[in-house]
Amino acid sequence: MKIGLVGLPGSGKSTCFRLLTGRQHGGSTSDVAVVEVPDPRTLRIAAIYQSPKIVQPETTFVDLMAVHQGDSSEGEALSLVKVAGDADAFVLVLQCFGELDASGNPLDPAADLETLLLEMALTDLAIVEGRRQRLAKTGTRDPHAHWETEVLEHCETHLSAGGALRDLDLSEEQRKYLRGFSLLTMKPWLVALNVAEEDLVGERAVGARQLAEQRGLPWIIFCAALEAEIEQLPPEERAAFAADYGLVEPGRERLIHAAYRLLEVITFFTGGPTEAHAWTLSAGATAVEAAGRIHTDLEKGFIRAEVISFQDLEEMGSEKSVKEHGRLRVEGRTYVVKDGDILFIRFSR
């Protein structure tokens, strides 16, 4: 799973990348890093099974090139989609600190959010228009081409008004077709309000927050510069330093978890005396698909899944106790795995 960081120049986007990954942007068009997603449940499972090895979920963050107003011509749109199109979700980083933006204009985070939303919609519009125009030039009477044209025209109308395609009422067939274009507004977004150290409650970000809520977008407030500074401290000093600023949960973890929630995935676990392992899986996936995430041999030879919920394991304290209370379940191939399930896959070799 891949999450793209998007922002206007000066938004602090690359500082966010440094906060998330612990390293500077490499200076290329985009930079990529794999980040561990801290899940306390993995640690608890490891403690119960006395597992010496712990494997947390991971996701990939990409620090994308800064968006500039006017990037949405077809040529620029294709360039942006080429770089960002394979992202599964986006974090829109907004500058909510200082008096002036990077262009020397008075700071207006809500206007910056409008710009980002519009540029991403216009980027998609350029792609959609280009495809429709190419279909029109062929002059084909193919019924599927007619169907494509109708879908594209419907999207054009919505995008021209600055709307996002994920908000359109589309059939699954239409969504599957549009996914082939890697359109940016088909994907989930998180608005990251990057505030100043002296404004941790986000007074400068109120307008942008309200706009995000109007658009149905989740948001998070944090100070990337301060949080990145805290992450550079020795681990034993971080909590006290953060407490001085009234910070309860590290901003890095809050941002990672907020972004991770965009991906529409669940976390299931495997546990034992050698390893406690957290695995990501698409929401709605089945037990046999979960087996395939662990190893293809488990998927091919799948017989059944023995399932314990994390809540039951934590409450009862051991796998043995869970079994004694009759809380271990046996499920077949089509069982839909739930977040927090601990799976034991039985398979034929």
pTM of the model as a whole: 0.87
205, 230, 263: which is the final residue of a domain? 263
Instruction: Confirm whether 45 is domain-assigned.
Output: no
Find, among 301, 285, 273, 293, the residue nearest to 335 by Cα.
285
Instruction: Confirm whether 25 is domain-assigned.
Output: yes
242 and 96, same domain (yes or no): yes
184 and 331, same domain (yes or no): no
Asked if residue 65 lies in contact with residue 52, where contact means CB atoms within 8 angstroms, the answer is: no
Residue 3 phi, psi (nearest 5): -120, 125
- CATH number at 336 reads 3.10.20.30
The sign one gets for the Cα dihedral 238, 244, 247, 252 is negative
pLDDT value at 82 more than 80: no
Query: pLDDT by residue (tens digit) across 231-269?
Result: 889 989 998 999 999 888 888 999 999 999 999 999 999
The rounded percent of the chain whose pLDDT value lies above 90 is 79
Q: Which three-class secondary structure state does DSSP give residue 277?
A: strand
259 and 288, same domain (yes or no): no
170 and 33, same domain (yes or no): yes
Instruction: Confirm whether 52 is domain-assigned.
Output: no
Q: Which three-class secondary structure state does DSSP give residue 331?
A: strand
325 and 204, same domain (yes or no): no
- Catalogue the E-assigned strands of 67-130: 89-96
Residue 52 burial (10 A CB sphere; 0-12, 13-18, 19+): exposed
Query: pLDDT by residue (tens digit) across 1-60?
Result: 899 999 999 999 999 999 998 876 555 557 889 999 999 999 999 999 999 999 999 999
C-alpha distances out from residue 15 to 30, 120, 206, 288, Å: 14, 22, 22, 40
238 and 299, same domain (yes or no): no
Which single residue is written with the structure tokens 């959609």? 128
Residue 27 is part of which domain span? 1-38+60-263
Instruction: Confirm whether 333 is domain-assigned.
Output: yes
| Beta strands at 89-96 and 329-331: parallel, antiparallel or unpaired | unpaired
304 and 338, same domain (yes or no): yes
- CATH number at 205 reads 3.40.50.300
Domain total of the chain: 2
170 and 254, same domain (yes or no): yes
User: How many Å apart are CA 301 and CA 347, to the nearest integer?
Assistant: 5
Query: pLDDT by residue (tens digit) across 125-156?
Result: 999 999 999 988 886 677 888 899 999 999 99
Asked if residue 252 lies in contact with residue 242, where contact means CB atoms within 8 angstroms, the answer is: no
Asked if residue 89 lies in contact with residue 259, where contact means CB atoms within 8 angstroms, the answer is: yes
102 and 243, same domain (yes or no): yes
Find, among 291, 317, 321, the residue nearest to 306 by Cα.
291
User: How many Å apart are CA 33 and CA 160, to the nearest integer?
Assistant: 34
- Angle at 163 (CA atoms; ends 162, 169), nearest 5 degrees: 160
